[in-house]
A and B are shown apart, each in its own frame.
Chain A
Amino acid sequence: MTRFFQTLKTAPYTAWFGMAVILLVAIIAILAPVIAPYGETAVVGEQYEPWSSQFLLGTDNLGRDMFSRLIYGTRNTVGLALLTTAIAFTVGSLLGIVAAVVGGMTDRLLSRIIDVIMAIPSLILALMLLTIVGASIASMVLVIALIYVAPVFRLARASAQSVVVMDYIQAARLRGEGLGWLVVREVLPNIASTLVAEFGLRFCFVFLFIAALSFLGLGIQPPTADWGSMLKENATLISFGDITPLLPAAAIAVLTVSINFVVDWMLHRSSGLKD
């Protein structure tokens, strides 16, 4: 634990900023109903009311409180992105390690399937899949998770492959260890730090992806508050020079920047204090 704090001390300002933002977002997401002055979908005023003491950030195109929706949006957008990333990671990294450990036909088959998924641009693939299965929160989560299994698989496989050639893996194989032991006890601990950093990066991508889908009207559906669709719904205001609709987008930007700052620092550290 002391070592953990010592490591924290060496963090650059950017990483500190990142960690602070992540913590703040987590608190807002958890305490959303307590913080938000109005309900998520409650119509409480006129259309497009300006900023005031009653409506801190004004109201949206249907007269709902922007500030409250922004807070609820944290919960929805971040929560769904987290869920999606978690699914993609569990499936992708397990398959990737198994492919590297088992090798042979299993590896080739899995890799070819992943190659095909990676061969289609992700946004196009997502849109096509959503056309087929229809837009809903569950299908969106599954579709994006499926798409992101591919890069996670590739990374997990590549890093596991560099571990699998080590003599200690050969020693474990020759001891007669089963697949489960090899994957969980021998390989996974050695690539965990790479995967954690990747989780951060992928979370950002997934998060931006969900936001983009919602922005295109194909992700999280109204009336659920979500940062991507909030921008879409209120975009008209921008042509009047009002920045309010940009706030949810700015929130997305600040969170992804923060995560990237932290991940960058982690990667920098794990690369062995170089440069």
Chain B
Amino acid sequence: MKTVGKDRPPLLTIRDLRIEGKSTNGWTRLVDGVDLDLARGEVLGLIGESGAGKSTLGLAAMGFTRDGCRITSGSIGFDGIDLARCGEHVRRDFRGKRIAYVAQSAAASFNPAHKLIDQHCEAPVVKKVMPRAKAEAEAVELYRKMRLPQPEGIGFRYPHQVSGGQLQRAMTAMAMACKPDLIIFDEPTTALDVTTQIEVLASIRDIVEQFGTAAIYISHDLAVVAQMADRIMVLKNGRTVETAETRTMLSAPQEEYTKSLWAVRSLERPRQERGTGARPVMSLKNVDAGYGAAKVLEDVSFDIHCGQTVAVVGESGSGKSTAARVISGILKPSRGEVLFEGRKLPADYLSRSREDLRHVQMIYQMPDTALNPRQSIRDIIGRPVEFYLGLKGREKEQRIRALLEQIELDPAIYMDRRPTELSGGQKQRIGIARALAAEPKFIICDEVTSALDQLVAAGILALLARVQKERDLALMFITHDLATVKAVADEVVVMQHGRVVETGAVETVFANPAHAYTTHLLQSVPEMDPDWLTRRTMSNRAVPA
């Protein structure tokens, strides 16, 4: 952690900035009167939920607005020049040379048609900062500093030949190519797995410190920002909520909104004890499964009991979603079986009875794609009511009302709306209502909160806990987020490379992980302590891999 010097000269001074974006009904405020100061060498964290205007503000610091957006007032002073008013050629000259950008998805932001090194050298060569040979030599040096494997060779690969975590580091190296004064990091680790994230975070922090570059670090994840930033600014609906130094902000947030953001991280729930000897509602027994020749699941077994939530955790590619596909009958296992209340279910959903289908329901990750945009809420919830329970007319209508009330949406308002007229959290609630409408005994929740903002996600989790209690449901909760596991689950199943590496009660596993991978996973989750990353990387270096 750098010490914040009050005496450092200012680099970026944004005053009363207002940015509007074109929407279907006119112009909407995206950034609404924000002031921002950044000194040379300082790192500012921008925190906020989706729609807070973080990215818009970050891009504006480069004098850039996306197509369909415009700066309506305010100034963006960068080293004495107002980027909101100077000519386009001045801005263009600054970009890439004095201000650089690191995007959220490196995989999408590298041009697939050119080699990494060509893209790296583009800015320094085109802007005549240095000749090609020097730029290439420096690129290799930067790759080495970012701890990329084979720094001499990796630049000669195309983006699709390099993994996501490495691309993100290569992009940071590219941003450094002209030794800029300022770098904008726009959620650079959000798309990565936790164990990859920690390495990328460490290398980003080291290089920024080493070159003394000022940075704006944008993220929705407070714990991540806490590791990177000297100061934190909280944004909501395009306005500043509060700004403070990182330690102060973490220990003593002033505003209600900030406090509520902090609070959701520490949700926990009272554990449900499993009745001994009770038959599980759903079991996987020694399941192998895969797509074609690629084996994704190997000898996977676990049980889920009535009234209990079992969290299945693992990183991308661990096979946790595949396990759900096997249970729901979309993917036929090559070995092993799926038992529902002790009875073997047909492997293919097409051969399952309507009653079996009714009892295994699903809630999806992306609320946007989970609901048919061309159907009204009435149709979406009403269909399973009619299909499974045979209710029609008035009875069906009453049931839909009851379900909407249960998910805390007013039937009078929402009954005849379409999904596009709802917010993400509301859509996810409709997804829950659709699953409940079938009156199932078992529901698979596939990353149901990962597309939602923290406060909204907390509401969804609370709702799920309530209906679970009311209906004595068995829930299988697929997630990559260990904080969510603590908040919802009774038991946890840890998966890696298609195998179950550890199972047990949440407290036991979290307190005393038996498997090395579980330990590694747990230690990679960022904590709300600004010294966490330093401690973690120190301990990692002390124990050579």
Contacts and interface: CB of A to CB of B under 8 A. Distances in A.
Q: Do chains A and B touch in the complex (CB under 8 A)?
A: yes
Interface of A: 166-168, 170-177, 185-186, 189-190, 273, 275
Contacts of A273: 22, 24
A173 B361 CA distance: 12
B240 interface: no
A167 B369 contact: yes
A171 B349 CA distance: 12
Interface stretch (B11-19, B371-379, B457-465, B469-477): B371-379
B382 to A, nearest CB: 12
Nearest to A166: B369
B409 interface: no
B24 A168 contact: no
Size range of the chain B interface in the assembly:
20 to 34
Contact of B373 (A170, A171, A172, A190): A190
B354 interface: yes
Contacts of B214: none
B372 A168 contact: yes
Closest 4 CB pairs of A and B: A189-B374, A167-B364, A167-B370, A168-B372
A186 B354 contact: no
A98 to B, nearest CB: 16
Interface in B443-481: none
Given A174-B360, A273-B24, 15 more contacts: A167-B370, A170-B364, A171-B362, A171-B370, A171-B434, A174-B328, A174-B330, A175-B438, A176-B354, A185-B375, A189-B372, A190-B372, A190-B373, A190-B374, A275-B67
A147 B242 CA distance: 65
Nearest to B370: A167
A173 B349 CA distance: 9
Contacts of A189: 372, 374-375
B504 interface: no
B70 to A, nearest CB: 15
Contact of B362 (A174, A177, A185): A174
Nearest to A192: B374
Contacts of B434: 171
A121 B349 CA distance: 43
10 contacts: A166-B370, A167-B366, A168-B372, A173-B330, A175-B357, A175-B383, A175-B387, A176-B354, A189-B374, A273-B24
B476 to A, nearest CB: 14
Given A175-B387, A190-B372, A190-B374, A170 B330 contact: yes
- Majority SS at the chain A contact face: helix
Interface of B: 22, 24, 67, 328-330, 349, 352, 354, 357, 360, 362, 364-366, 369-375, 383-384, 387-388, 434, 438
A168 B354 contact: no
Given A170-B330, A171-B362, A171-B434, A176 B357 contact: yes
A5 to B, nearest CB: 16
B417 to A, nearest CB: 15
A168 B420 CA distance: 14
A247 B373 CA distance: 46
Contacts of B354: 176
B394 to A, nearest CB: 22
Contact of B370 (A168, A176, A186, A190): A168
A171 B329 contact: no
A153 B365 CA distance: 31
Q: Name which of A173, A176, A189, A190 has the most chain B CB atoms within 10 A of its CB.
A: A176
A167 B446 CA distance: 11
B312 to A, nearest CB: 18
B349 A168 contact: no
A174 B369 contact: no
A275 B329 CA distance: 43
Contacts of A170: 330, 362, 364
Given A167-B366, A168-B369, A171-B364, A176 B387 contact: yes
Contacts of B362: 170-171, 174
Given A167-B364, A174-B349, A186 B372 contact: yes
A167 B373 CA distance: 12
A170 B388 CA distance: 17
Contacts of A168: 369-372
A176 B330 CA distance: 12
Q: Name which of B67, B330, B354, B369 has the most chain A CB atoms within 10 A of its CB.
A: B369
A166 B370 CA distance: 7
A175 B366 CA distance: 19
Q: Name which of A167, A173, A186 has the most chain B CB atoms within 10 A of its CB.
A: A167
Nearest to A177: B387
B366 to A, nearest CB: 7
Contacts of B357: 174-176
Nearest to B419: A168
B238 to A, nearest CB: 21
A170 B372 CA distance: 11
Contacts of A190: 372-374
A174 B329 contact: yes
Contacts of A275: 67
Nearest to A275: B67
B534 to A, nearest CB: 41
A22 B204 CA distance: 61
A168 B380 CA distance: 10
A20 to B, nearest CB: 26
A171 B360 CA distance: 11
